[in-house]
A and B are shown apart, each in its own frame.
Chain A
Amino acid sequence: MDIFLQQIINGLVLGSIYALVALGYTMVYGILGLINFAHGDIVMVGALVALTVVSALGGSGLPPAVVLLAAMGAAMIVCIALGVTIERVAYRPLRRAPRLAPLITAIGVSILVQYSAALVWGKQYISLPTLITPSEVAVAGAVFTDIQGYIFLLACGIMAALLLFIKKSRIGRAMRATEQNPDIAGLMGVDTNRIIAFTFLVGSAIGAIAGVMVVLYYGLGHYFMGFMLGLKAFTAAVLGGIGNVAGAMLGGLLLGIIESLASGYIGDLTGGVLGSNYRDIFAFLVLIGVLVLRPAGLMGQQVSERA
């Protein structure tokens, strides 16, 4: 029983990170109908910037919280600049081109960002200097660290704030209008170009925070880490119903739980034939299953021929 609870807790923490990354995918898909392949790599850049800042300030005697905030701020600034530039340079000129074109461009941008990062940071794994020693919290036989707790709470806070923002604010309303129909929204006085750029800005900023969380969670960064993370987050977005912000959150948490339960139990269930080295397969299986059985996802509306 405590193993079960343990896996659920791990899944929730990991899932909250997936959910944050998934928000970036789902918002862009909602407005542009484009899978922004480069989003996972933006998260990667955020993670590596944060690692650099922490390494630089780690020995300066500043309190850990200040160092972390500085890292997060730097990561957000770099990611926002990157995300908005990508939108302006690579995606905007192709907005009315046939579907295949922006998708291939997105793949190209993703490769560019990855290997530019490899040039800047090298190809080796970069580890996080010990900044804070996590203290452990035990609940009913399961153990988690306070850092994991903070990650989960912060992620939930960001998601709640985003939902509120989209629902209540003026810009949020413009975002929803653009999502429904960019042309009509333009006629109603919405500057759709600015709204789309703003969507990339918000997605990249949240992605940067997710990147910092990944670094804190695993203690490692790598130029290729955005690929798997991005795929899983995309799966989460599809699971929740792509284009649906609340769905991305639900999908992220669910995927995290599914993945940690599945990789925790697969060895026992199959008598050791399949081990936890198959853990990355589950995300793909979930993705394929959802797309085949219920393409609209858990919370999405049935849209015909959009996919």
Chain B
Amino acid sequence: MYFAIAAVLVALPFAVDAALGRTWVRIIDVALLFAMLALGLNIVVGYAGLLDLGYIAFFAVGAYAYALLASPQFGLHWPFFAILPLSALIAAFFGVILGAPTLRLRGDYLAIVTLGFGEIIRIFLNNLNRPYNVTNGPQGITLIDPLQVGGASLAKTHTIAGLTIAPVHSYYFVFLTCALISMFMSRRLEDSRIGRAWVAIREDELAAAAMGINTRDVKLLAFAMGATFGGVAGALFASFQGFISPESFTLLDSIMVLCMVVLGGMGNVAGVVLGAVLLTALPEALRYAGPLQQSWLGAVYIDPSDLRMLLFGAALVLMMLFRPAGLWPSSIRRRELAAPREPGGAEGADVAR
């Protein structure tokens, strides 16, 4: 069984390349990156129940950490394996300093404050090109070094045993490894002492504190852990793209990652990965919507990128109304969201507000 899955995963990029073209291999790569991001956000939102609307900031921090240390911007070209843990650390650090002031807040207020932090980081990235040019402002940073594994650059096409391995294929395997590690870590965290403490805080913070959980440390740990995932994904993203700018880290991107978590199923690793893959592939599939409108209706009425956003918005609303636990919910979440509907249910009484 596992062997079969492994064989499919190894063959996937080559099969997709042959069937649909190299663009779609690239889309799979991006989907894997977003799966990592969504898994990170899932720790904060799904496990610990802290709604973070500025999560993309950690992705940005990781990406900029990599870009500044491995590009002509400062003339630094550190090796990848030195920067990766460093950008994870920096992102975790940001997770803690942004998380610390929000510890006393809950629910909606937390959402707004994290949104504010996300915007503040983006505004700084946009404006830190003077008086000293750190981030190169809105132009972003170009010519970022590609990944190097054992002296072989992933930006070059290699041929191994008659098989052509293009950069998108090599990156696929790197991202797949990272995504699998993330999934494994998420699963292990979920069943650990810490993971249960997170769930306890999500369910009832007061009761969790009464049970001896240090809510402050455990919440900070959720922020730091989530941010670490984001930071690593950001560093990988920077090396993959070779170019980053503040444009890639807007509120809409935060919301998109949130959509992945919500749509897939908050708190469930498999669901979150499903959400990430669906929401990365969907916009790409919608590219065909433009020509389709042209041929069926005679003109392009709805720009595909707008259509994507409209569908996102509608999906968020409809999911919450009809299937609040997500497409592939975790069993706990499903019970919890079903409970208040029953008259006289244990939770029904105190969730009115």
Stretch at the interface among B84-92, B155-163, B228-236, B316-324: B316-324
Q: Which residues of B contact A108 (CB under 8 A)?
A: 312-317, 320
How near does chain A come to B1, taking the closest CB pair, in angstroms? 35
A111 and B49 within 8 A (CB):
no
Q: Which residues of A contact B251 (CB under 8 A)?
A: 227
B313 and A104 within 8 A (CB):
no
Q: Which residues of A contact B313 (CB under 8 A)?
A: 108-115
Stretch at the interface among A6-14, A67-75, A201-209, A274-282: A274-282
> Quick one: which of A97, A110, A114 contacts B351, CB cutoff 8 A?
A97
Q: Which residues of B contact A307 (CB under 8 A)?
A: 105-109
Q: A101-B324, A287-B116 are in contact. Are A35 and B108 (CB under 8 A)?
A: yes
Q: A96-B351, A115-B306, A278-B123 are in contact. Are A284 and B321 (CB under 8 A)?
A: no
> Quick one: which of A94, A96, A275, A287 contacts B320, CB cutoff 8 A?
A94
How near does chain B come to A298, taking the closest CB pair, in angstroms? 16
Q: How many residues of chain B get a CB closer than 8 Å to chain A's CBs?
A: 49
Q: Which residues of B contact A110 (CB under 8 A)?
A: 313
* Contact flags A79-117 to B (C-beta < 8 A → 1, else 0): 000000000001001111111111111011111111110
Interface centre among A33, A34, A115 (most CB of B within 10 A): A115
Task: Give A102 to B112 CA distance when docked, in angstroms.
Answer: 14
What is the chain B residue whose CB lies nearest that of A182?
B352
Task: Give A287 to B118 CA distance when docked, in angstroms.
Answer: 13
A105 and B320 within 8 A (CB):
yes
Is B337 in contact with chain A by the CB < 8 A criterion? yes
Chain B facing A: main interface SS: helix
Q: Which residues of B contact A277 (CB under 8 A)?
A: 126-127
Q: A295-B105, A307-B106 are in contact. Are A96 and B340 (CB under 8 A)?
A: yes
> Quick one: which of A33, A90, A182, A280 contacts B317, CB cutoff 8 A?
A90
> Quick one: which of B49, B112, B120, B315 contacts A100, CB cutoff 8 A?
B49
Is A153 in contact with chain B by the CB < 8 A criterion? no
> Quick one: which of B115, B116, B352 contacts A96, CB cutoff 8 A?
B352
Task: Give A100 to B267 CA distance when docked, in angstroms.
Answer: 13
A111 and B105 within 8 A (CB):
no
A284 and B120 within 8 A (CB):
yes
Q: Which residues of A contact B289 (CB under 8 A)?
A: none
A291 and B105 within 8 A (CB):
yes
How near does chain B come to A120, taking the closest CB pair, in angstroms? 11
* Contact flags B131-169 to A (C-beta < 8 A → 1, else 0): 100000000000000000000000000000000000000
How near does chain B come to A62, taking the closest CB pair, in angstroms? 33
B258 and A104 within 8 A (CB):
yes
Q: A107-B316, A288-B116 are in contact. Are A90 and B321 (CB under 8 A)?
A: yes
Interface centre among A98, A274, A295 (most CB of B within 10 A): A98
Is A119 in contact with chain B by the CB < 8 A criterion? yes
> Quick one: which of B106, B113, B315, B340 contacts A98, CB cutoff 8 A?
B340
How near does chain B come to A237, taking the closest CB pair, in angstroms? 11
> Quick one: which of A105, A234, A287 contacts B321, CB cutoff 8 A?
A105
What is the chain B residue whose CB lies nearest that of A113?
B313
Q: Which residues of A contact B127 (CB under 8 A)?
A: 274-275, 277-278
Is A118 in contact with chain B by the CB < 8 A criterion? yes
* Contact flags B45-61 to A (C-beta < 8 A → 1, else 0): 00001010100000000
A98 and B321 within 8 A (CB):
no
A305 and B106 within 8 A (CB):
yes
Is B244 in contact with chain A by the CB < 8 A criterion? no
Task: Give A306 to B350 CA distance when docked, in angstroms.
Answer: 12
Beyond known contacts A100-B51, A108-B316, A111-B255: 6 more, CB 8 A cutoff: A97-B337, A98-B336, A112-B310, A115-B309, A277-B127, A287-B113
- B residues contacting A by CB (< 8 A) are 49, 51, 53, 101-102, 104-109, 111-113, 115-117, 119-120, 123, 126-127, 131, 206, 251, 255, 258, 262, 302, 306, 309-310, 312-317, 319-321, 324, 336-337, 340, 348, 351-353
- Between-chain CB contacts (< 8 Å), 13 pairs: A33-B353, A97-B320, A104-B258, A108-B312, A108-B316, A112-B314, A115-B309, A183-B352, A231-B115, A284-B120, A288-B117, A305-B106, A307-B106
